[in-house]
Amino acid sequence: MGRHRSDPLGIARLALVGLAVVLLLAVIVIGGRALFSTFGSGEPGGTPAAASPSPAARPSTATSPPRVPTVRVVCQADRCPVFVRVPGGDVLVDRDLARGEQASYFDPELDVVLDDASTVEVFANGTARSPGPPGERQAFSVTRSPGP
């Protein structure tokens, strides 16, 4: 009367539940990392963070001179919708920047879309682009100029 028979279906169900929990945790961790990398990490004082360049575009040594980004976008309004991507590839940013927030990218070629070109200051290879009229949507590509 004190003996229990093991139920093969019960063990299989427990194994499936365990596997489902592990997979769910993996999805949460991967999603959280992706979300965190999308928004970058801000400074503790609440100052906006600049978007990170791709790892391949970062200088390789500490003695390298500072590089001029292919594109730098500085938000001049309360809200600046910005979209930047590598042509045919990764979307680097697709969100609203806040006033004073900057995003810099060092990729060799970039596609940029600004919902309202008058709300941002854009630098292509260190040279300021002319702002557009209020409400004008601009889409353009920038190719990295050869360095010194």
Summarised one tens digit per residue, pLDDT across range 75-108 is 999 999 999 999 998 999 999 999 999 999 999 9
| Single-letter code of the amino acid located at 41 | S
Tens of pLDDT, residues 30-84: 876 766 655 544 333 333 344 444 444 444 445 666 789 999 999 999 999 999 9
Per-residue confidence at 2, pLDDT binned at 50, 70, 90? low
CA distance 107 to 144: 7
Can you say whether the dihedral through the CA atoms of 76, 70, 39, 86 is positive or negative? positive
Res 127 pLDDT > 90: yes
Burial of residue 29 (CB within 10 Å: 0-12, 13-18, 19+) is exposed
5 three-class SS: coil
- What pLDDT shows up at residue 100? 95
Q: Report the predicted TM-score, pTM, of the whole model to 2 decimal places.
A: 0.55
Count of beta carbons in the 10 Å neighbourhood of residue 43? 8
CA distance 60 to 55: 10
DSSP 57: G
List of residues 6+ apart from 58 with CB closer than 8 A: 106
